[in-house]
Amino acid sequence: MVPILAGFIAHSIADRPGLAPGMIGGMIAASIGAGFIGGIAAGFLAGYTVKFLNDKIQLGRNLDGLKPVLILPLLGTAIVGLLMFYVVGGPVAVVLAAITTWLKGLQGSNAIFLGLLLGSMMAFDMGGPVNKAAYAFATGLIASEVYAPMAAVMAAGMTPPLALALALALATVLFKNRFSEDEREAGKATAVLGVAFITEGAIPFAAKDPLRVIPALMLGSAVAGALSMVFGCELRVPHGGAFVLPIPNAVTNLGVYLMAIVAGTVVSAFALATLKRPLSAAAAN
């Protein structure tokens, strides 16, 4: 995981010549205990090193073809490898070890706070940069054998579309004037996306009324994330939603984990019904 992460960070900065230096830097990070934080550092270091070399090395038209396939990968790997071994890797490994120890020892209010934070981030932009930052943080920690944040993130990511589906289902009975007929039809697909841990299914609803929908979704996701952390749930796979739950040993404390998802879904559904303004009779139909 770490070498691939580092390689494609470097690729995004320096294109193909950055791929090999980034992956090798990530491999070194993993081997010296710097983990995913070291992989991120190696990726950026490799990308900008290769980009700098590409800008500064001028070989003329006849030899320029050697740069992307030989010179840049070779020099980039040498520079990044030496820096990771002797400069960057050691301090990053110490930082990662401290973070890992702290996360493994989370109890009580600290666990609740982290769950609230990760849950809120997952629902804030539903697939945007804030959501992806929380997801990348939790996914990276799997490589360090810290699994609780991943459980909180997946529970919180499933909650927004599931909450909308529940709210839309209840709209036929309890909240008839909160959602239009088209929205109630769209809720059927939203439920499937939620079960599959595709938070983006909630975006069309949030885009129509962001000031009311997003806070309601964040509230339920924060509850789901916090409960997951408090219950000590752990998840060893980075994606898949409900489809990975039956896998043996994929989830610890499965029963209370499902309770956390249900609780967050219910909280967001009723928050949506409370915060959304009633529609006019014409708009509801």
pLDDT of 68: 83
Per-residue pLDDT of 159-207, as tens digits, reads 999 998 888 777 655 666 666 666 666 667 788 888 888 888 888 888 8
pLDDT of 281: 45
pLDDT of 226: 94
Query: Binning pLDDT at 50, 70 and 90, where does residue 285 land?
Result: very low
Mind giving me the DSSP string for 144-156?
TT--HHHHHHHHH
User: What's the rounded Cα separation, in Å, for the pair 222 and 116?
Assistant: 4
Looking at 29-43, 58-72, 115-129, 202-216, which range is the least confident one?
58-72
Per-residue pLDDT of 225-283, as tens digits, reads 999 999 999 999 988 888 998 888 899 999 999 999 999 999 998 898 888 777 654 34
Mean local confidence (pLDDT), 211-216: 90
Per-residue pLDDT of 42-89, as tens digits, reads 999 999 999 999 888 887 777 777 888 888 999 999 999 999 999 988
Looking at 26-30, 102-106, 242-246, which range is the least confident one?
102-106
Contacts with 32 (C-beta within 8 Å, 6 or more apart), sequence order: 38, 84, 85, 89, 90, 93
Query: Binning pLDDT at 50, 70 and 90, where does residue 109 land?
Result: confident
pLDDT of 177: 62
User: What's the rounded Cα separation, in Å, for the pair 21 and 79?
Assistant: 9
Mean local confidence (pLDDT), 1-14: 89
User: What's the rounded Cα separation, in Å, for the pair 237 and 150?
Assistant: 8
User: What's the rounded Cα separation, in Å, for the pair 96 and 251?
Assistant: 24
